[in-house]
Amino acid sequence: MALSAVRQRRSEASDPSPSEPYTKLDKPQRSEEKDDKGLGWFFPFVALGFLRYMSATSNIIHDCDEVFNYWEPLHYLLYKTGFQTWEYSSQYALRSYLYLLFHEVVGRPASWLFSEDKVRVFYAVRFFLGLLSVITDTVLVVALSRKYGKRLATYALAMLCLTSGCFFASTSFLPSSFSMYAISLASGLFLLDKPASAISVAVIGVILGWPFSILAFLPVTVYSLSRKFKGAFIAATVTSVILLPLSIVTDFYYYGKWTSSVLNLLIYNVAGGGESHLYGIEGPLYYLRNGFNNFNFCFVLALLFLAILPIAKKKYAPDLLIVISPIYIWLGFMSLQPHKEERFLYPIYPLICVAASAVIESFPDLFRSKYNPYDRSIIVTVAKVMRPLALSLILYASHARTFSLIHGYSAPLEVYKIFEHHDAEKNSVLCVGSEWHRFPSSFFIPDYVGQVRWIDEGFRGLLPFPFNSTLGGTAAAPPYFNNKNMASGEQY
């Protein structure tokens, strides 16, 4: 009788509560040491390092703005030659020289080390960009593993390494890529319960990187302030007080007048006067199509995160929801702007991988409460099998796109490398026609070429001009520049 009662009590204790959906958090926990440790730092760092090395060496240049607004001014700082766009005219002063100086920290020693081999300097800066991506994404992956387990973190790591979007954006010399690094790091620090550090990184990403990315940092910033207001507020204030004056002083040194490129950019685009539509407009679905191009089904799954939240709420709310919410905020805001470019989506790329990983990891949870809370249902088993299959499909499609873009569009970089091995007369003139937008930067132009000039083949927009030392170099406000994208008679 007593034995029967004991058996009955054991049976009752093991019955699941029907009122709440079953999740993995309901399983008996393993030892504290195993649960808290998560993934180590070494494996994610090495995996990301290998893929970012591949990106640095094989990545194409996807946007002529990367060349003319960042590589060319950096080349001028290092070698006193290079092209200037109207945004760098002191009349407009829209681009931050502090951002360029941050990269000159690597470019300057590389230019001393490699002397006239400027192509190596170009790749040295790219390796630096890749290293920043490796460090920030490693923090994010480790934070995910400690908070949500190794499986979700491993899925995220695979996507961060191999999705086309992350592969290409990670070594692009663009402020939007820098903001992407900052969002990875801030999100990781937030999940590691370091709100003050997270908010400091957010400030750096906005001031040193891309000011408009403040929208993407908003959820983590607000929630960090709500958690530990005093520490987070002090961290944000101190970081801002250091960076903003430093940015203004740097702009004064190069533009030759007191100005703030951060403020100028915001005024130009937000407070009127901005005419970005002159450079092309796209429909409201542009970023949805572009997101699918760069992430295939990973992007679709990321958008479905809110749909699975009612079932996975116990696991992912509020912290992971806070981290992932910028996807929806950013997509909504950017889709409303008439002028759209692929690089504008870069800041949320790592979050797309995290959201998709969370959805894949939750596949069995969609069926556990309905069919069998103890995983004995064939439906739950199939859902488990679907996880690696879904990940494999995403990675396979990503590899196909990455391979296709590299082999289909790397010609400009390869063609211009030939000049390094071809001697011609000193002060030769290199003429470029309608393919001016594929010019890979002056880092690929050897010293024997005295000038690079544009040939008039019908383009009626404003083209970059060489920095003019006679007019003041970086402090010049040349009369041939305008902010209406109207061609100058002197550009050909």
- The backbone torsions φ and ψ at residue 450, rounded to the nearest 5 degrees and listed phi first, read -80, -35
**Burial label, 147 (beta-carbon count in 10 A; 0-12, 13-18, 19+):** buried
* pLDDT for the residue 418: 86
Q: What is the mean pLDDT of residues 147-164?
A: 96
Q: Which residues lie closer than 8 Å to 201 by C-beta, 6 or more apart?
A: 182, 185, 186, 189
Q: What is the mean pLDDT of residues 160-167?
A: 97
Q: Which residues lie closer than 8 Å to 202 by C-beta, 6 or more apart?
A: 182, 186, 217, 220, 221, 236
Residue 462 lies in a domain: no
More confident residue, 280 or 39: 39
More confident residue, 352 or 418: 352
Residue 439 lies in a domain: no
Residue for token pair 């958090």: 25
* pLDDT for the residue 274: 60
Confidence band, pLDDT 50/70/90 cuts, at residue 313: confident
Judged against a pLDDT cut of 70, whether residue 436 lies above it is answered with: yes
* pLDDT for the residue 373: 58
* pLDDT for the residue 365: 85
Rounded-to-5 percentages of helix, strand, coil across the chain:
70, 5, 25
Residue 457 lies in a domain: no
Structural domain that includes position 208: 44-413
* pLDDT for the residue 31: 40
Residue 2 lies in a domain: no
Confidence band, pLDDT 50/70/90 cuts, at residue 222: very high
CA distance 68 to 201: 27
* pLDDT for the residue 372: 58
Judged against a pLDDT cut of 80, whether residue 88 lies above it is answered with: yes
* CA-based nearest residue to 20, from 230, 398, 288, 315: 315
* pLDDT for the residue 34: 44
Judged against a pLDDT cut of 80, whether residue 422 lies above it is answered with: no
Which DSSP string corresponds to 146-171?
Answer: HHH-HHHHHHHHHHHHHSHHHHHHTT
Residue for token pair 């069998």: 372
* pLDDT for the residue 182: 98
Tens-place pLDDT, residues 172-185: 999 999 999 999 99
Q: What is the mean pLDDT of residues 80-97?
A: 96
* pLDDT for the residue 9: 41
Residue 459 lies in a domain: no
* pLDDT for the residue 14: 42
Residue 10 lies in a domain: no
To the question of pTM greater than 0.85 for the whole model, the response is yes
Task: Quote the percentage of the chain above a pLDDT of 70.
Answer: 90
Residue for token pair 């572009």: 290
| Amino acid letter for position 428 | S
Residue 120 lies in a domain: yes
Q: What is the mean pLDDT of residues 120-136?
A: 98
Confidence band, pLDDT 50/70/90 cuts, at residue 76: very high
Judged against a pLDDT cut of 60, whether residue 8 lies above it is answered with: no
Task: Quote the percentage of the chain above a pLDDT of 90.
Answer: 72
On average, the pLDDT of the chain sits at: 89
Confidence band, pLDDT 50/70/90 cuts, at residue 420: confident
Confidence band, pLDDT 50/70/90 cuts, at residue 270: confident
* CA-based nearest residue to 300, from 292, 289, 308, 290: 292
Q: What is the mean pLDDT of residues 363-386?
A: 76
Q: How many domains does the chain have?
A: 1
Residue 382 lies in a domain: yes
Cis peptide before 318 (omega within 30 of 0): yes
Q: What is the mean pLDDT of residues 364-379?
A: 71
Q: What is the mean pLDDT of residues 369-384?
A: 72
